[in-house]
């Protein structure tokens, strides 16, 4: 979500005539887009702000702006603590940056009330053929470790008609793959007025019907709201990819309760079974937090059991670190760092081993790959992504944005490799 907000800021600045400076010291405008999800990132950001302060003192005409969740979380004090900041705005007010920069008086101003979605703003996409689409803003959940509800507010869904129009516009602009974004995509549409009521599964069907959109992804679903209609959509809609990112966080029902995740291990595994029933080949990835306060060796063993049982295709793993302003930061039973680190090592070993085993099912298959550019490790080869969201390095002649077929001959836990199948171009 944050990366997409940055694309919109870049697009808006370009339309105002700005271009990117090679060095921060060369810039007329220093703009930070902040994420507040991890406390360590906050701390690092303060150092960047210190550098901006120094550069502004050298050239007082330089404008310093701070957007995003960190700005929202310090909205009451930002100009007192950081008087050199000219403009500050929350994640719902990106459009106000343009107003500010185009106005006659650049005196310190802050914008923190959510007003409207900024889907109409121009964006500067990293790749012309891939686009993010924000379908909702905010979150009504109360996960005890998470700062998002207090920085992005209550959940608000975007109008489905407006969303479909945006997808059509993107398709006409050459986009082949869209990723729908929301804090909890499965609860999309619950707040949409009755005459336009649309469930997330129905929204997926609307996007699938747009000519030119070949791949649809979304992130993130919440296991408590993952319904059968969305799972079935993966089997029925041609563009919806065979990949679901289903955050686990912990395999212990006791810890899930302390996290206020509102599902337990049984409900989670039941969702996995439903996915495997309808889409047997679906790739499954997840997020896991290790060392939540009070996590015992037994709780952690239950997380490992789920990892072994599910066999994820990949996982983002995090060591718990308390986030100021969240309930979890006040919980007792914090674990010593060596304990967390040792559990993390065991978790990573299990995740990677199972992912490597799972990836062998692709060897010998011919898979559709969306070409992204040269391979990072060998520029003579190409790199792209399969519908299962696996990175694929291969020998071939495709250009970025092409969909081509690749014969897979090897697989590790993270990547596949192979050769382009001759005469395979998918038009």
Residue 390 beta carbon to ligand SF4: minimum distance, rounded to whole angstroms: 25
Long-range CB contacts (within 8 A, 24+) of 93-96: 93/67, 94/5, 94/8, 94/9, 94/12, 94/67, 94/118, 94/121, 95/12, 95/121
| 373 counts as binding ligand SF4 under rule CB under 6 A | no
Stretch near ligand SF4 under the rule CB under 6 A, chosen from 4-12, 120-128, 141-149, 389-397: 141-149
Binding span for ligand SF4 by CB under 6 A among 145-153, 199-207, 313-321, 351-359: 145-153
Least distance (Å) between residue 143 CB and ligand SF4: 3
**Identified binder of ligand SF4 from the candidate list 143, 167, 256, 344, rule CB under 6 A:** 143
Neighbours of 223 (CB within 10 A): 22
CB-based contact 335:297 (threshold 8 Å): no
* 146 sits near ligand SF4 (criterion: CB under 6 A): yes
75 C-beta neighbours (distance < 10 Å), count: 17
Site for ligand SF4 contains 148 (CB under 6 A)? yes
Burial 115-127 (b: 16+ CB within 10 A, else e): eebbbebebebee
How many chain residues touch ligand SF4 (CB under 6 A)?
9
134 is a site residue for ligand SF4 (CB under 6 A):
no
> β-pairing, 366-374 with 243-245?
unpaired
Interface stretch with ligand SF4, choices 1-9, 120-128, 138-146, 339-347 (CB under 6 A)? 138-146
Give 3-state DSSP helix, strand, coil % of the chain, rounded to 5. Answer: 40, 20, 40
Which lies closer to ligand SF4 via its Cβ, residue 152 or residue 215? 152
User: Is residue 149 close enough to count as binding ligand SF4 by CB under 6 A?
Assistant: yes
Q: How far apart are CA 213 and CA 169, in angstroms?
A: 11
d(CA 85, CA 183): 29
Cα(90)–Cα(113) distance, integer angstroms: 8
Residue 121 binds ligand SF4 (CB under 6 A)? no
The least distance separating ligand SF4 from the CB of residue 224, rounded to whole angstroms, comes to 9
Site for ligand SF4 in 167-196 (CB under 6 A): 183-184
Closest to ligand SF4 by CB, 184 or 375: 184
The two beta strands, 136-137 and 156-157, are antiparallel
Q: How many other C-beta atoms can be found within 10 angstroms of the C-beta atom of residue 128? A: 12
Which range binds ligand SF4 by CB under 6 A, 102-110, 118-126, 136-144, 167-175?
136-144
Q: Is 80 exposed, middle or buried (0-12, 13-18, 19+ CB in 10 A)?
A: exposed
**Beta carbon nearer to ligand SF4, 167 or 289:** 289
Name the residue nearer to ligand SF4 (CB basis): 40 or 427: 40
Would you count residue 93 as binding ligand SF4 (CB under 6 A)? no
When asked if residue 222 is in the footprint of ligand SF4 (CB under 6 A), the reply is yes
Whether 359 contacts 408, CB under 8 Å: no
- From the list 26-34, 137-145, 207-215, 411-419, the region that binds ligand SF4 by CB under 6 A is 137-145
Residue 320 · residue 336 · CB < 8 Å: no
CA 60 to chain centre: 36
How near is the Cβ of 142 to ligand SF4 at its closest, in Å? 6
> Would you count residue 288 as binding ligand SF4 (CB under 6 A)?
no
The alpha carbon of residue 371 and the mean position of all alpha carbons in its chain are separated, in whole angstroms, by 21
CA-nearest of 328, 248, 325, 321 to 284 is 248
Segment near ligand SF4 (CB under 6 A), from 73-81, 140-148, 350-358, 377-385? 140-148
Q: Give 248 or 403: the residue with its C-beta nearer to ligand SF4.
A: 248
Q: Are strands 215-219 and 243-245 parallel, antiparallel or unpaired?
A: unpaired
| DSSP letter assigned to residue 108 | -
Q: How far is the CB of 79 from ligand SF4 (least distance, A)?
A: 28
Which parts of this chain interact with ligand SF4 (CB under 6 A)?
Answer: 139, 141, 143, 146, 148-149, 183-184, 222
């Amino acid at each position: 979500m944050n990366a997409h907000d940055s694309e919109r800021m870049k697009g808006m600045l370009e339309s105002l005539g700005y271009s990117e400076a090679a060095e921060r010291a060369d810039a007329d405008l220093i703009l930070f887009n902040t994420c507040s999800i991890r406390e360590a990132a906050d701390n690092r950001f303060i150092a960047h702000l210190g550098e901006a302060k120094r550069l502004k003192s050298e050239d007082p005409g330089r404008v310093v702006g701070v957007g995003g969740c960190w700005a929202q979380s310090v909205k009451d004090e930002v100009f007192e603590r950081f008087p050199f900041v000219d403009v500050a705005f929350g994640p719902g007010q990106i459009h106000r940056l343009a107003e500010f920069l185009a106005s006659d008086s650049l005196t310190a101003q802050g914008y923190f009330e959510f007003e409207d979605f900024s889907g109409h703003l121009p964006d500067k996409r990293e790749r012309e053929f891939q686009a993010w689409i924000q379908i909702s803003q905010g979150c009504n959940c109360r996960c005890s470790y998470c700062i998002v509800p207090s920085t992005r507010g209550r959940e608000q869904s975007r109008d489905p008609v407006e969303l479909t129009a945006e997808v059509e516009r993107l398709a006409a602009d050459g986009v082949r793959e869209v990723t729908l974004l929301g804090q909890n995509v499965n609860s999309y549409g619950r707040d949409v007025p009755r005459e336009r009521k649309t469930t997330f599964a129905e929204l997926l069907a609307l996007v699938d019907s747009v000519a030119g959109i070949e791949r649809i992804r979304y992130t993130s679903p919440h296991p408590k709201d993952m319904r059968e209609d969305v799972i079935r959509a993966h089997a029925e809609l041609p563009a919806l990819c065979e990949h679901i990112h289903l955050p686990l966080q912990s395999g212990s029902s006791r810890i899930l309760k302390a996290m206020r995740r509102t599902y337990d291990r049984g409900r989670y595994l039941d969702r996995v079974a439903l996915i495997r029933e309808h889409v047997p080949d679906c790739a499954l990835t997840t997020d896991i937090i290790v060392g939540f306060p009070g996590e015992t060796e037994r709780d952690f063993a239950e997380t490992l059991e789920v990892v072994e049982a599910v066999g994820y295709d990949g996982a983002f793993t995090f060591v718990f670190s308390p986030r100021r302003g969240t309930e979890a930061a006040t919980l007792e039973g914090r674990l010593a760092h060596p304990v967390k680190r040792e559990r993390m090592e065991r978790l990573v070993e299990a995740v990677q081993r199972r992912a490597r085993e799972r990836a062998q099912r692709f060897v010998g298959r011919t898979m559709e790959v969306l070409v992204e550019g040269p391979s990072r490790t060998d520029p003579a080869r190409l790199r792209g992504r399969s519908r299962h969201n696996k990175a694929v390095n291969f020998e071939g002649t495709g250009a970025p944005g092409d969909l081509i077929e690749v014969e897979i001959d090897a697989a590790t836990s993270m990547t596949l490799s192979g050769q382009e199948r001759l005469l395979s171009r998918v038009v």
